[in-house]
Protein backbone atom coordinates (compact mmCIF):
# COMPACT_ATOMS: atom_id res chain seq x y z
CA UNK A 1 0.00 0.00 0.00
CA UNK A 2 1.31 3.49 -0.86
CA UNK A 3 0.90 6.59 1.20
CA UNK A 4 0.96 9.56 -1.11
CA UNK A 5 -2.22 11.49 -0.38
CA UNK A 6 -3.44 9.87 2.84
CA UNK A 7 -0.17 9.84 4.74
CA UNK A 8 -1.30 12.37 7.37
CA UNK A 9 -4.71 10.80 7.99
CA UNK A 10 -4.86 9.50 11.52
CA UNK A 11 -1.28 10.65 12.16
CA UNK A 12 -1.81 14.31 13.13
CA UNK A 13 -4.36 16.45 14.92
CA UNK A 14 -6.42 17.61 11.91
CA UNK A 15 -6.95 21.05 13.47
CA UNK A 16 -3.32 21.73 14.35
CA UNK A 17 -1.60 24.10 11.93
CA UNK A 18 1.73 23.44 13.68
CA UNK A 19 1.52 19.68 13.21
CA UNK A 20 0.38 20.08 9.61
CA UNK A 21 3.20 22.50 8.80
CA UNK A 22 5.84 20.37 10.47
CA UNK A 23 4.81 17.63 8.02
CA UNK A 24 5.26 19.88 4.98
CA UNK A 25 1.79 21.40 5.11
CA UNK A 26 1.13 24.68 3.25
CA UNK A 27 4.50 24.57 1.49
CA UNK A 28 2.61 23.74 -1.73
CA UNK A 29 0.29 26.73 -1.28
CA UNK A 30 3.19 29.11 -0.70
CA UNK A 31 4.98 27.66 -3.70
CA UNK A 32 1.86 28.03 -5.87
CA UNK A 33 1.10 31.57 -4.75
CA UNK A 34 4.62 32.64 -5.62
CA UNK A 35 4.11 31.33 -9.17
CA UNK A 36 1.99 32.74 -11.97
CA UNK A 37 -1.46 31.07 -12.30
CA UNK A 38 -0.51 29.70 -15.71
CA UNK A 39 2.58 28.03 -14.27
CA UNK A 40 0.47 26.27 -11.63
CA UNK A 41 -2.02 25.23 -14.30
CA UNK A 42 0.80 23.84 -16.45
CA UNK A 43 2.14 21.80 -13.52
CA UNK A 44 -1.30 20.26 -12.84
CA UNK A 45 -1.76 19.54 -16.56
CA UNK A 46 1.69 17.94 -16.76
CA UNK A 47 0.86 15.65 -13.83
CA UNK A 48 -1.88 13.95 -15.91
CA UNK A 49 -4.11 13.99 -12.82
CA UNK A 50 -7.61 12.76 -13.68
CA UNK A 51 -10.68 13.52 -11.58
CA UNK A 52 -11.35 11.10 -8.75
CA UNK A 53 -15.10 11.87 -8.53
CA UNK A 54 -16.09 9.27 -11.10
CA UNK A 55 -15.69 10.56 -14.64
CA UNK A 56 -11.84 10.66 -14.64
CA UNK A 57 -11.81 13.92 -16.59
CA UNK A 58 -8.30 15.46 -16.90
CA UNK A 59 -8.09 17.97 -14.05
CA UNK A 60 -5.64 20.40 -15.66
CA UNK A 61 -7.80 20.63 -18.78
CA UNK A 62 -10.91 21.31 -16.70
CA UNK A 63 -9.06 24.03 -14.78
CA UNK A 64 -7.98 25.63 -18.06
CA UNK A 65 -11.64 26.01 -19.15
CA UNK A 66 -12.43 28.09 -16.05
CA UNK A 67 -9.11 29.94 -16.16
CA UNK A 68 -9.74 31.11 -19.71
CA UNK A 69 -13.18 32.57 -18.89
CA UNK A 70 -13.09 36.35 -18.64
CA UNK A 71 -15.12 36.94 -15.49
CA UNK A 72 -14.37 38.94 -12.32
CA UNK A 73 -16.26 36.34 -10.27
CA UNK A 74 -15.45 32.64 -10.37
CA UNK A 75 -15.96 29.82 -7.90
CA UNK A 76 -14.23 26.65 -6.77
CA UNK A 77 -16.44 23.91 -5.36
CA UNK A 78 -15.16 20.90 -3.48
CA UNK A 79 -17.58 18.05 -4.08
CA UNK A 80 -17.77 16.22 -0.75
CA UNK A 81 -21.21 14.76 -1.34
CA UNK A 82 -19.81 11.21 -1.40
CA UNK A 83 -23.20 9.73 -2.17
CA UNK A 84 -22.20 6.67 -4.19
CA UNK A 85 -23.15 3.62 -2.11
CA UNK A 86 -20.09 1.78 -0.84
CA UNK A 87 -17.88 4.85 -1.15
CA UNK A 88 -16.37 6.24 2.04
CA UNK A 89 -12.91 7.43 1.03
CA UNK A 90 -13.48 11.21 0.90
CA UNK A 91 -14.53 11.13 4.51
CA UNK A 92 -11.13 9.64 5.48
CA UNK A 93 -9.39 12.60 3.84
CA UNK A 94 -11.78 15.21 5.21
CA UNK A 95 -11.58 13.86 8.75
CA UNK A 96 -7.87 13.13 8.70
CA UNK A 97 -6.39 15.97 6.66
CA UNK A 98 -8.88 18.81 6.05
CA UNK A 99 -6.13 21.43 5.54
CA UNK A 100 -4.84 19.40 2.59
CA UNK A 101 -8.22 19.70 0.82
CA UNK A 102 -8.36 23.41 1.63
CA UNK A 103 -4.84 23.80 0.22
CA UNK A 104 -6.06 22.12 -2.97
CA UNK A 105 -8.91 24.63 -3.17
CA UNK A 106 -6.67 27.66 -2.57
CA UNK A 107 -4.19 26.51 -5.22
CA UNK A 108 -7.04 25.87 -7.63
CA UNK A 109 -8.52 29.32 -6.88
CA UNK A 110 -5.18 30.94 -7.68
CA UNK A 111 -4.76 28.95 -10.90
CA UNK A 112 -8.24 29.64 -12.30
CA UNK A 113 -8.79 33.14 -10.87
CA UNK A 114 -11.42 32.37 -8.22
CA UNK A 115 -11.53 33.99 -4.81
CA UNK A 116 -14.43 32.10 -3.29
CA UNK A 117 -14.82 28.42 -2.58
CA UNK A 118 -17.58 26.17 -1.31
CA UNK A 119 -17.33 22.74 0.22
CA UNK A 120 -20.55 20.83 -0.40
CA UNK A 121 -20.70 18.05 2.13
CA UNK A 122 -23.31 15.34 2.44
CA UNK A 123 -25.82 15.86 5.24
CA UNK A 124 -25.04 12.40 6.60
CA UNK A 125 -21.55 13.57 7.69
CA UNK A 126 -22.47 16.08 10.45
CA UNK A 127 -19.25 15.59 12.45
CA UNK A 128 -17.10 16.02 9.38
CA UNK A 129 -19.03 19.18 8.54
CA UNK A 130 -18.34 20.52 12.02
CA UNK A 131 -14.64 19.72 11.63
CA UNK A 132 -14.53 21.54 8.29
CA UNK A 133 -16.16 24.64 9.72
CA UNK A 134 -13.62 24.60 12.57
CA UNK A 135 -10.73 24.06 10.12
CA UNK A 136 -11.79 27.08 8.07
CA UNK A 137 -12.11 29.13 11.23
CA UNK A 138 -8.64 28.15 12.45
CA UNK A 139 -7.11 29.04 9.08
CA UNK A 140 -8.96 32.35 8.85
CA UNK A 141 -7.63 33.34 12.27
CA UNK A 142 -4.09 32.45 11.14
CA UNK A 143 -4.44 34.60 8.01
CA UNK A 144 -4.36 31.53 5.78
CA UNK A 145 -7.86 32.27 4.48
CA UNK A 146 -9.43 35.68 3.84
CA UNK A 147 -7.59 38.65 2.37
CA UNK A 148 -3.93 38.69 1.33
CA UNK A 149 -3.49 35.12 2.45
CA UNK A 150 -0.01 33.97 3.48
CA UNK A 151 1.00 37.61 2.87
CA UNK A 152 0.42 37.28 -0.89
CA UNK A 153 -1.74 39.61 -2.96
CA UNK A 154 -4.47 36.98 -3.20
CA UNK A 155 -7.83 36.69 -1.43
CA UNK A 156 -9.59 33.38 -0.92
CA UNK A 157 -12.30 32.24 1.45
CA UNK A 158 -14.48 29.16 1.84
CA UNK A 159 -18.01 28.43 2.97
CA UNK A 160 -19.42 25.02 3.89
CA UNK A 161 -22.83 23.97 2.55
CA UNK A 162 -24.50 20.64 2.99
CA UNK A 163 -26.89 18.41 1.18
CA UNK A 164 -29.95 16.74 2.65
CA UNK A 165 -29.45 13.18 1.49
CA UNK A 166 -30.24 13.19 -2.24
CA UNK A 167 -27.82 11.07 -4.27
CA UNK A 168 -28.34 13.22 -7.37
CA UNK A 169 -26.91 16.26 -5.54
CA UNK A 170 -23.44 14.75 -6.03
CA UNK A 171 -23.87 15.45 -9.75
CA UNK A 172 -22.18 18.80 -10.23
CA UNK A 173 -25.08 20.78 -11.73
CA UNK A 174 -27.62 19.42 -9.21
CA UNK A 175 -25.08 20.30 -6.51
CA UNK A 176 -24.88 23.85 -7.86
CA UNK A 177 -28.69 24.13 -7.88
CA UNK A 178 -28.69 22.93 -4.27
CA UNK A 179 -26.13 25.58 -3.21
CA UNK A 180 -28.30 28.17 -4.95
CA UNK A 181 -31.15 27.08 -2.69
CA UNK A 182 -33.14 25.27 -5.38
CA UNK A 183 -34.30 21.68 -5.55
CA UNK A 184 -31.42 19.33 -6.36
CA UNK A 185 -32.06 18.68 -10.03
CA UNK A 186 -29.54 18.43 -12.83
CA UNK A 187 -29.23 21.17 -15.42
CA UNK A 188 -29.24 20.73 -19.17
CA UNK A 189 -25.67 20.87 -20.47
CA UNK A 190 -24.04 22.78 -22.15
CA UNK A 191 -23.18 25.21 -20.72
CA UNK A 192 -20.91 23.23 -18.41
CA UNK A 193 -20.01 24.58 -14.95
CA UNK A 194 -16.42 25.59 -15.82
CA UNK A 195 -18.04 28.16 -18.14
CA UNK A 196 -21.37 28.91 -16.42
CA UNK A 197 -21.98 27.27 -13.06
CA UNK A 198 -22.85 28.71 -9.67
CA UNK A 199 -24.99 31.85 -10.14
CA UNK A 200 -24.06 31.54 -13.79
CA UNK A 201 -20.39 32.25 -13.09
CA UNK A 202 -17.47 30.07 -14.20
CA UNK A 203 -17.25 27.31 -11.59
CA UNK A 204 -14.72 24.60 -11.07
CA UNK A 205 -16.12 21.50 -9.35
CA UNK A 206 -13.60 18.94 -8.12
CA UNK A 207 -13.87 15.90 -5.95
CA UNK A 208 -12.25 15.86 -2.48
CA UNK A 209 -9.65 13.28 -3.50
CA UNK A 210 -8.77 15.19 -6.67
CA UNK A 211 -8.09 18.28 -4.59
CA UNK A 212 -6.08 16.27 -2.05
CA UNK A 213 -3.66 15.41 -4.88
CA UNK A 214 -2.94 19.06 -5.72
CA UNK A 215 -0.55 19.89 -2.84
CA UNK A 216 1.22 16.58 -3.45
CA UNK A 217 1.73 17.46 -7.13
CA UNK A 218 3.01 20.95 -6.29
CA UNK A 219 5.40 19.57 -3.68
CA UNK A 220 6.75 16.67 -5.71
CA UNK A 221 6.60 18.30 -9.14
CA UNK A 222 4.62 16.75 -11.99
CA UNK A 223 7.47 14.55 -13.22
CA UNK A 224 8.10 12.89 -9.85
CA UNK A 225 4.34 12.55 -9.28
CA UNK A 226 4.00 10.64 -12.56
CA UNK A 227 6.44 8.03 -11.30
CA UNK A 228 3.47 6.73 -9.33
CA UNK A 229 0.85 4.75 -11.21
CA UNK A 230 0.71 3.98 -14.92
CA UNK A 231 1.06 5.96 -18.15
CA UNK A 232 -2.67 6.63 -18.52
CA UNK A 233 -3.39 6.86 -14.80
CA UNK A 234 -0.84 8.74 -12.78
CA UNK A 235 -0.70 8.76 -8.99
CA UNK A 236 -2.69 6.73 -6.54
CA UNK A 237 -6.34 5.99 -5.85
CA UNK A 238 -8.29 5.53 -2.68
CA UNK A 239 -10.38 2.37 -2.90
CA UNK A 240 -13.29 1.76 -0.51
CA UNK A 241 -13.72 -1.99 -0.07
CA UNK A 242 -16.77 -3.65 1.46
CA UNK A 243 -18.47 -7.05 1.25
CA UNK A 244 -17.15 -10.56 1.87
CA UNK A 245 -13.48 -9.76 2.53
CA UNK A 246 -11.56 -10.03 5.80
CA UNK A 247 -10.21 -6.46 5.82
CA UNK A 248 -12.79 -3.96 4.71
CA UNK A 249 -11.95 -0.27 4.56
CA UNK A 250 -10.14 2.38 2.58
CA UNK A 251 -6.84 1.52 0.88
CA UNK A 252 -4.57 3.86 -1.05
CA UNK A 253 -3.31 1.91 -4.04
CA UNK A 254 -0.97 2.76 -6.87
CA UNK A 255 -2.67 2.54 -10.28
CA UNK A 256 -1.68 -0.69 -12.04
CA UNK A 257 -2.56 -3.14 -9.27
CA UNK A 258 -5.26 -5.75 -10.09
CA UNK A 259 -8.62 -6.31 -8.40
CA UNK A 260 -7.41 -9.77 -7.35
CA UNK A 261 -4.29 -8.33 -5.71
CA UNK A 262 -6.44 -5.89 -3.74
CA UNK A 263 -8.65 -8.73 -2.48
CA UNK A 264 -5.82 -11.14 -1.67
CA UNK A 265 -3.02 -8.86 -0.53
CA UNK A 266 -4.72 -5.82 0.98
CA UNK A 267 -7.99 -7.30 2.17
CA UNK A 268 -6.49 -10.64 3.29
CA UNK A 269 -8.86 -12.62 1.10
CA UNK A 270 -12.45 -13.70 1.64
CA UNK A 271 -14.10 -13.73 5.04
CA UNK A 272 -15.88 -16.99 4.24
CA UNK A 273 -14.69 -20.29 2.78
CA UNK A 274 -16.59 -19.37 -0.38
CA UNK A 275 -15.23 -18.11 -3.69
CA UNK A 276 -15.56 -14.60 -5.11
CA UNK A 277 -18.65 -14.49 -7.30
CA UNK A 278 -18.29 -10.92 -8.55
CA UNK A 279 -16.90 -7.53 -7.66
CA UNK A 280 -19.05 -4.49 -8.23
CA UNK A 281 -16.63 -1.73 -9.12
CA UNK A 282 -17.53 1.96 -8.78
CA UNK A 283 -20.46 1.72 -6.38
CA UNK A 284 -24.08 0.97 -7.19
CA UNK A 285 -23.71 2.59 -10.60
CA UNK A 286 -20.81 0.29 -11.46
CA UNK A 287 -20.53 -3.01 -13.31
CA UNK A 288 -20.39 -6.45 -11.68
CA UNK A 289 -17.16 -8.13 -12.73
CA UNK A 290 -17.06 -11.93 -12.50
CA UNK A 291 -14.26 -13.85 -10.77
CA UNK A 292 -12.47 -14.84 -13.99
CA UNK A 293 -11.86 -11.16 -14.85
CA UNK A 294 -10.35 -10.12 -11.53
CA UNK A 295 -6.87 -9.77 -13.03
CA UNK A 296 -8.00 -6.53 -14.69
CA UNK A 297 -5.71 -3.73 -13.60
CA UNK A 298 -6.92 -0.57 -11.89
CA UNK A 299 -6.05 1.82 -14.68
CA UNK A 300 -8.57 4.12 -16.37
CA UNK A 301 -7.74 2.99 -19.93
CA UNK A 302 -7.36 -0.69 -19.10
CA UNK A 303 -10.73 -0.70 -17.35
CA UNK A 304 -12.36 1.13 -20.25
CA UNK A 305 -10.96 -1.40 -22.71
CA UNK A 306 -12.71 -4.08 -20.63
CA UNK A 307 -15.97 -2.12 -20.73
CA UNK A 308 -15.94 -1.10 -17.06
CA UNK A 309 -15.25 2.07 -15.17
CA UNK A 310 -13.52 2.75 -11.88
CA UNK A 311 -16.12 5.35 -10.89
CA UNK A 312 -15.62 6.53 -7.33
CA UNK A 313 -13.28 3.61 -6.59
CA UNK A 314 -15.73 1.57 -4.51
CA UNK A 315 -15.31 -2.21 -4.56
CA UNK A 316 -18.08 -4.44 -3.27
CA UNK A 317 -16.89 -8.05 -3.11
CA UNK A 318 -19.63 -10.69 -3.21
CA UNK A 319 -19.05 -14.38 -2.53
CA UNK A 320 -21.02 -17.12 -4.25
CA UNK A 321 -23.68 -17.21 -1.54
CA UNK A 322 -25.03 -13.96 -3.02
CA UNK A 323 -27.93 -14.26 -5.45
CA UNK A 324 -27.40 -11.84 -8.34
CA UNK A 325 -31.11 -11.16 -8.58
CA UNK A 326 -31.37 -10.34 -4.91
CA UNK A 327 -28.39 -8.05 -5.31
CA UNK A 328 -29.81 -6.33 -8.41
CA UNK A 329 -33.14 -5.73 -6.71
CA UNK A 330 -31.46 -3.94 -3.81
CA UNK A 331 -29.38 -1.89 -6.26
CA UNK A 332 -32.31 -0.90 -8.46
CA UNK A 333 -34.58 -0.05 -5.52
CA UNK A 334 -31.91 2.51 -4.64
CA UNK A 335 -32.03 4.12 -8.08
CA UNK A 336 -35.82 4.04 -8.20
CA UNK A 337 -35.81 5.96 -4.93
CA UNK A 338 -33.06 8.39 -5.96
CA UNK A 339 -34.23 9.27 -9.48
CA UNK A 340 -35.13 12.97 -9.39
CA UNK A 341 -37.99 12.39 -11.84
CA UNK A 342 -37.01 15.13 -14.29
CA UNK A 343 -36.63 12.89 -17.34
CA UNK A 344 -38.75 9.95 -18.46
CA UNK A 345 -36.13 7.27 -19.26
CA UNK A 346 -34.76 7.36 -15.72
CA UNK A 347 -37.98 8.01 -13.83
CA UNK A 348 -39.93 5.26 -15.61
CA UNK A 349 -36.99 3.01 -16.47
CA UNK A 350 -35.91 2.42 -12.89
CA UNK A 351 -39.48 1.70 -11.85
CA UNK A 352 -39.97 -0.83 -14.65
CA UNK A 353 -36.65 -2.56 -14.01
CA UNK A 354 -37.60 -3.07 -10.36
CA UNK A 355 -41.02 -4.37 -11.43
CA UNK A 356 -39.52 -6.91 -13.84
CA UNK A 357 -36.86 -8.03 -11.34
CA UNK A 358 -39.65 -8.61 -8.83
CA UNK A 359 -41.52 -10.71 -11.38
CA UNK A 360 -38.43 -12.81 -12.06
CA UNK A 361 -37.78 -13.25 -8.35
CA UNK A 362 -41.33 -14.37 -7.77
CA UNK A 363 -41.04 -16.94 -10.54
CA UNK A 364 -43.83 -15.37 -12.61
CA UNK A 365 -41.72 -13.84 -15.39
CA UNK A 366 -41.19 -15.09 -18.94
CA UNK A 367 -38.24 -14.98 -21.33
CA UNK A 368 -39.91 -11.93 -22.91
CA UNK A 369 -39.52 -10.04 -19.61
CA UNK A 370 -35.76 -10.58 -19.78
CA UNK A 371 -35.74 -9.17 -23.31
CA UNK A 372 -37.73 -6.12 -22.18
CA UNK A 373 -35.30 -5.68 -19.30
CA UNK A 374 -32.45 -5.48 -21.80
CA UNK A 375 -34.32 -2.94 -23.93
CA UNK A 376 -35.11 -0.68 -20.98
CA UNK A 377 -31.47 -0.72 -19.87
CA UNK A 378 -30.35 0.34 -23.33
CA UNK A 379 -32.88 3.20 -23.50
CA UNK A 380 -31.88 4.48 -20.05
CA UNK A 381 -28.19 4.33 -20.87
CA UNK A 382 -28.56 6.35 -24.05
CA UNK A 383 -31.51 8.66 -23.37
CA UNK A 384 -31.36 9.68 -19.70
CA UNK A 385 -30.59 13.31 -19.03
CA UNK A 386 -27.83 12.89 -16.48
CA UNK A 387 -25.29 10.39 -15.22
CA UNK A 388 -27.67 8.96 -12.64
CA UNK A 389 -30.08 7.52 -15.20
CA UNK A 390 -27.32 6.71 -17.69
CA UNK A 391 -25.41 4.64 -15.14
CA UNK A 392 -28.32 3.21 -13.12
CA UNK A 393 -28.74 0.09 -15.33
CA UNK A 394 -24.99 -0.69 -15.43
CA UNK A 395 -25.18 -3.44 -12.80
CA UNK A 396 -28.16 -5.05 -14.55
CA UNK A 397 -26.43 -4.86 -17.95
CA UNK A 398 -23.27 -6.50 -16.58
CA UNK A 399 -25.23 -9.22 -14.79
CA UNK A 400 -27.19 -9.94 -17.96
CA UNK A 401 -23.82 -10.28 -19.69
CA UNK A 402 -22.14 -12.53 -17.12
CA UNK A 403 -24.95 -14.15 -15.10
CA UNK A 404 -27.86 -14.45 -17.53
CA UNK A 405 -28.31 -18.18 -16.92
CA UNK A 406 -28.60 -17.62 -13.22
CA UNK A 407 -31.16 -14.85 -13.74
CA UNK A 408 -33.19 -17.05 -16.10
CA UNK A 409 -33.19 -19.96 -13.64
CA UNK A 410 -35.47 -17.88 -11.45
CA UNK A 411 -38.12 -18.01 -14.14
CA UNK A 412 -38.31 -21.72 -13.22
CA UNK A 413 -38.38 -20.87 -9.51
CA UNK A 414 -34.77 -21.92 -8.95
CA UNK A 415 -32.06 -20.02 -7.11
CA UNK A 416 -28.59 -21.54 -7.25
CA UNK A 417 -27.35 -19.32 -4.41
CA UNK A 418 -30.30 -20.49 -2.36
CA UNK A 419 -30.56 -17.07 -0.84
CA UNK A 420 -32.81 -14.82 -2.86
CA UNK A 421 -36.06 -13.15 -1.91
CA UNK A 422 -37.99 -15.85 -3.74
CA UNK A 423 -36.51 -18.57 -1.56
CA UNK A 424 -37.13 -16.62 1.59
CA UNK A 425 -40.76 -16.49 0.52
CA UNK A 426 -40.79 -12.71 0.68
CA UNK A 427 -44.03 -10.93 -0.12
CA UNK A 428 -43.19 -8.27 -2.63
CA UNK A 429 -45.31 -5.28 -3.49
CA UNK A 430 -45.02 -4.27 -7.10
C1 LIG B 1 -25.62 10.91 -9.95
C2 LIG B 1 -24.23 11.41 -9.77
C3 LIG B 1 -23.69 11.49 -8.48
C4 LIG B 1 -22.40 11.98 -8.30
N5 LIG B 1 -21.90 12.03 -7.04
C6 LIG B 1 -20.65 12.52 -6.84
C7 LIG B 1 -20.12 12.61 -5.53
O8 LIG B 1 -20.77 12.24 -4.54
N9 LIG B 1 -18.88 13.13 -5.39
C10 LIG B 1 -18.14 13.55 -6.48
O11 LIG B 1 -17.03 14.05 -6.31
N12 LIG B 1 -18.61 13.46 -7.73
C13 LIG B 1 -19.85 12.97 -7.93
N14 LIG B 1 -20.35 12.92 -9.20
C15 LIG B 1 -19.51 13.45 -10.32
C16 LIG B 1 -19.65 14.98 -10.40
O17 LIG B 1 -20.74 15.32 -11.24
C18 LIG B 1 -18.39 15.65 -10.98
O19 LIG B 1 -18.10 15.01 -12.19
C20 LIG B 1 -17.20 15.55 -10.07
O21 LIG B 1 -17.46 16.12 -8.82
C22 LIG B 1 -16.05 16.28 -10.72
O23 LIG B 1 -14.90 16.17 -9.94
P24 LIG B 1 -13.55 15.55 -10.49
O25 LIG B 1 -13.30 16.14 -11.84
O26 LIG B 1 -12.55 15.95 -9.49
O27 LIG B 1 -13.76 14.07 -10.56
C28 LIG B 1 -21.64 12.41 -9.42
C29 LIG B 1 -22.17 12.31 -10.71
C30 LIG B 1 -23.44 11.82 -10.88
C31 LIG B 1 -23.98 11.72 -12.27
S1 LIG C 1 -31.42 10.89 -15.31
FE2 LIG C 1 -32.68 10.60 -13.47
S3 LIG C 1 -31.70 11.86 -11.93
FE4 LIG C 1 -30.93 12.54 -13.92
S5 LIG C 1 -32.33 14.18 -14.57
FE6 LIG C 1 -33.19 12.29 -15.40
S7 LIG C 1 -34.65 11.64 -13.80
FE8 LIG C 1 -33.30 13.11 -12.84
pLDDT 10s digits, 304-350: 999 999 999 999 999 999 999 999 999 999 999 999 999 999 999 99
- What three-state secondary structure class fits 160? strand
Rounded mean pLDDT of 49-69? Answer: 97
- Give the ligand at the shortest distance from the Cα of 59: 1
Domains 17-225 and 236-319 alike in fold: no
pLDDT given at position 422? 57
Among candidate residues 395, 348, 382, 338, the one with its CA nearest the CA of residue 81:
338
Our answer on whether the CB atom of 339 is closer than 6 Å to any ligand 1 atom is no
- Give the ligand at the shortest distance from the Cα of 183: 2
CA distance 410 to 343: 31
CATH, range 17-225 = 3.40.50.11540
Q: Which residues line ligand 2 (CB under 6 A)?
A: 168, 186, 339-343, 346-347, 384-386, 388-389
> What ranges do the domains of the chain cover?
17-225, 236-319, 324-412
Using the predicted structure, report yes or no on whether residue 262 has a pLDDT greater than 90.
Answer: yes
pLDDT 10s digits, 189-239: 999 999 999 999 999 999 999 999 999 999 999 999 999 999 999 999 999
SS (H, E, C) 18-64: HHHHHCCCCHHHHHHHCCCHHHHHHHHHHCCCECCCCCCCEHHHHHH
Q: How far is the CA of 185 from the centre of ligand 2 (A)?
A: 8
- 68-95 per-residue burial string, b: 16 or more CB within 10 A, e: under 16: eeeeeebbbbbbbbbbbbbbbbbbbbbb
- Yes or no: say if 84 and 311 are a contact pair by the CB < 8 Å rule: yes
Distances (CA, A) of 64 to 28, 195, 277: 20, 10, 43
Determine which residue's CA is closest to atom 8 belonging to ligand 2.
Answer: 340
Q: How far is the CA of 403 from the centre of ligand 2 (A)?
A: 27
> Tell me: domain 324-412, CATH 3.40.190.10, correct?
no
> Tell me: domain 236-319, CATH 3.40.50.720, correct?
no
CA distance 9 to 428: 44
What pairing do the DSSP bridges indicate for beta strands 236-243 and 276-281? unpaired
| CA of residue 193 relative to chain centroid, distance | 18
Q: How far is the CA of 284 from the centre of ligand 2 (A)?
A: 16
Q: How far is the CA of 334 from the centre of ligand 2 (A)?
A: 13
How many H helices and E strands in the chain? 18, 9
Amino acid sequence: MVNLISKLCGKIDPLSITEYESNGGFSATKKALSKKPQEVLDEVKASNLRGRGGAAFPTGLKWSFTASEDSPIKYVICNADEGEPGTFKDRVLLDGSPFQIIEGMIICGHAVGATKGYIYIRGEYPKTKELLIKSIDVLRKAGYLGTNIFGFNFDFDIEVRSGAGAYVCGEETALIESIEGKAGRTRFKPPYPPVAGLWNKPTLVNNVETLANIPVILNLGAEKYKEYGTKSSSGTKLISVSGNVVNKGVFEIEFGISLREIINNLCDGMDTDKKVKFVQLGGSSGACIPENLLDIKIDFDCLRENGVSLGSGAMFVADDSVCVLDFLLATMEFFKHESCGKCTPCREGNRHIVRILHKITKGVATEKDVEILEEICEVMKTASLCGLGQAAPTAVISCLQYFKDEIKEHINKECRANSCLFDKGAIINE
